[in-house]
Amino acid sequence: MSGIGRPLLELDHVERMFGGSWLGRLGGDNVVRAVDDVTLSIAAGEAFGIVGESGSGKTTVGRMIVRLLDPTAGAIRFEGQDITRLRGGALLAYRRSVQMVFQNPYLSLNPRRRVRDMLLDAYRIHHLASGRDAEERVAALMEMVGLRRTMLDRYPHEFSSGQRQRIGIARALSVEPRLIVADEPVSALDVSVQAQVLNLLRGLQEELGLTVVFISHDLRAVSFLCSRVAVLYLGQVMEVAPRRALVERAAHPYTQALMGSMPSLAPGSGITREVIRGDIADQQPPPGGCVFAPRCELRRRLGDPDRCLTERPWPRELSEGHAVACHFADAEARPDTDARPEATGAAAGPTTPTTPTMVGISDPTRVPAVTSTGATT
């Protein structure tokens, strides 16, 4: 996909299925296709967001990037090298280069170990520093994430949830990674501290030139932190765009519905507010068609064109770096386009404005006000 610098990380037609026997998978029996032919490129130093509802495959993508899971098809390349083939020392080096920050900082920290020892581990395991040098680095890390060095001798339960997430971030940074995958790093935190941790992440990303893959169901948090965003739905990429293009000209009906649920993003953004029907889990997508079809209001307005049910829409570029997986994403914006349903033999439906109702989308009132500084929480 164009619009970025030299990629650090590439997902090339990546698929991950769960369940079923090997033979059953061929026939599609009892299989969850958690990630379904995802292709993405992420540049060095970029903050890249992956957003979508629960069950859209975000965590599965993150776990494959850090090699906690292998894809069932496709390739993941880091600096051009297929990571699924790494073994021994090369795998250890990759594991150091790529770190994950988890949703629940309490579960990801060993309750019986002092913070100092947890942070020193990384230096020991990867032979990065020892003795006084390691002690100094650990103290500097604490300050980098907005904690005091005097807190190093505490246990995880002696911290607030926001402070624990700062420790999780410090631990990820301790091995001087090139890439951090942050999976819902603020969604388990109180609304009042979410913004502080987001600010910390953004400051660190800019200061250290880190590449960050930020995974969230919260489009507003993703828009705050990331310069480009991919929208996932049932394991497929619906839209990829620079943040600004996404906020101002979201083109996929699903992205528009997500946007419409975010009060501070939708008004005046120039995007259409779409309706979304039902829940991600309760509607079977048509085999071979568009996975969003059962919930798509644009399809209904266009008179239910057959193409939505019979042909998977692959991401196509509407403008540089802005790709959309919808046959009709530009049908209403450009009435003369070939993508109009008439061109495919389907009748156009009424185009009356839609009511901004949202069903099955996360509660927009939980979105944090991203304004405060990264001070200690």
x/- string (CB under 6 A) for ligand ATP, residues 23-42?
---------x-x--------
Nearest to 53 by CA among 212, 246, 342, 261: 261
Instruction: Write the CA distances from 313 to 73, 230, 236, integer angstroms.
Output: 20, 16, 10
Token readout for 158 is 């002696």
Counted residue by residue, the chain has a size of 377
- Return all residues near 177 (Cβ < 8 A) that are at least 6 apart: 96, 97, 98, 99, 210
Task: Report the distance separating Cα 208 and Cα 348, nearest Å.
Answer: 51
Choose which of 242, 328, 368, 377 interacts with ligand SF4 (CB under 6 A).
Answer: 328
Residues 57, 242, 315, 374: which binds ligand ATP (CB under 6 A)?
A: 57
For ligand SF4, give the closer residue by CB, 47 or 293.
293
Which among 31-39, 157-165, 191-199, 294-302 is the span making contact with ligand SF4, rule CB under 6 A? 294-302
Q: Does 168 bind ligand SF4 (CB under 6 A)?
A: no
Which amino acid is located at 13 in the chain? Answer: H
266 sits near ligand SF4 (criterion: CB under 6 A): no
Nearer to ligand SF4, 64 or 339 (CB): 339
- Supply the Cα-derived Rg of the chain in whole angstroms: 22
Residue in 7, 47, 59, 346 binding ligand ATP, rule: CB under 6 A: 59
Q: Does residue 256 contact residue 294 with C-beta atoms inside 8 Å?
A: no
237 lies in the binding site for ligand SF4 (CB under 6 A): no
Sole residue written with tokens 């979410």: 194
216 binds Mg ion per the rule CB under 5 A: no
Residue from the set 33, 34, 57, 59 that interacts with Mg ion by CB under 5 A: 59
Which is nearest to 165 in space by CA: 106, 214, 99, 100? 106
Nearer to ligand ATP, 14 or 339 (CB): 14
Look up residue 340 and give its two tokens: 């109009």
Contacts of 358 (CB under 8 A, 6+ apart): 257, 260, 261, 275, 276, 364
CB burial of residue 333 (10 Å; 0-12, 13-18, 19+): exposed
Q: How far apart are CA 14 and CA 69, in angstroms?
A: 12
Binding residue (CB under 6 A) for ligand SF4 from 51, 213, 298, 370: 298
Q: 298 contacts which partner out of Mg ion, ligand ATP, ligand SF4, none, CB within 5 to 8 A by kind?
A: ligand SF4
In whole angstroms, what is the distance from residue 72 CA to residue 294 CA?
27
Return the range that interacts with ligand SF4 (CB under 6 A); candidates 74-82, 112-120, 212-220, 320-328.
320-328
Asked if 183 contacts 103 with a C-beta cutoff of 8 angstroms, the reply is yes
Residue 37: C-alpha distances to residues 34, 55, 238, 277 (Å): 10, 16, 12, 25
**Residue 213 touching ligand SF4 (CB under 6 A):** no
Contact flag: residue 66 with ligand SF4 (CB under 6 A): no
Q: Which one of 5, 19, 27, 28 is in contact with ligand ATP (CB under 6 A)?
A: 19
The nearest distance, CB 344 to ligand SF4, in angstroms, is 10
Binder to ligand SF4 among 299, 339, 340, 346 (CB under 6 A)? Answer: 299
Containing H/E element for 76? strand 73-78
Report which of 149, 146, 145 is spatially closest to residue 135, judged by C-alpha positions: 149
Taking the complex as a whole, the smallest distance from the CB of residue 219 to ligand SF4 amounts, in Å, to 17
| Whole-angstrom distance, CA of residue 241 vs CA of residue 244 | 8
Whose structure tokens read 């990037």? 65
Nearer to ligand SF4, 167 or 302 (CB): 302
Is residue 211 a contact point for ligand ATP (CB under 6 A)?
A: no
- Stretch of residues binding ligand SF4 (CB under 6 A), selected from 98-106, 209-217, 273-281, 288-296: 288-296
Least Cα distance to 289 among 271, 266, 305, 269 occurs for 305
Min CB(62)–ligand ATP separation in Å: 8
Cβ 216 to ligand SF4 shortest distance, Å:
22
Q: Which is nearer to Mg ion, 59 or 211 (CB)?
A: 59
Applying CB under 5 A, the residues found at the interface with Mg ion are: 59
Applying CB under 6 A, the residues found at the interface with ligand SF4 are: 253, 290, 292-293, 296, 298-299, 308, 313, 326-328
Applying CB under 6 A, the residues found at the interface with ligand ATP are: 18-19, 32, 34, 52, 54-60, 217
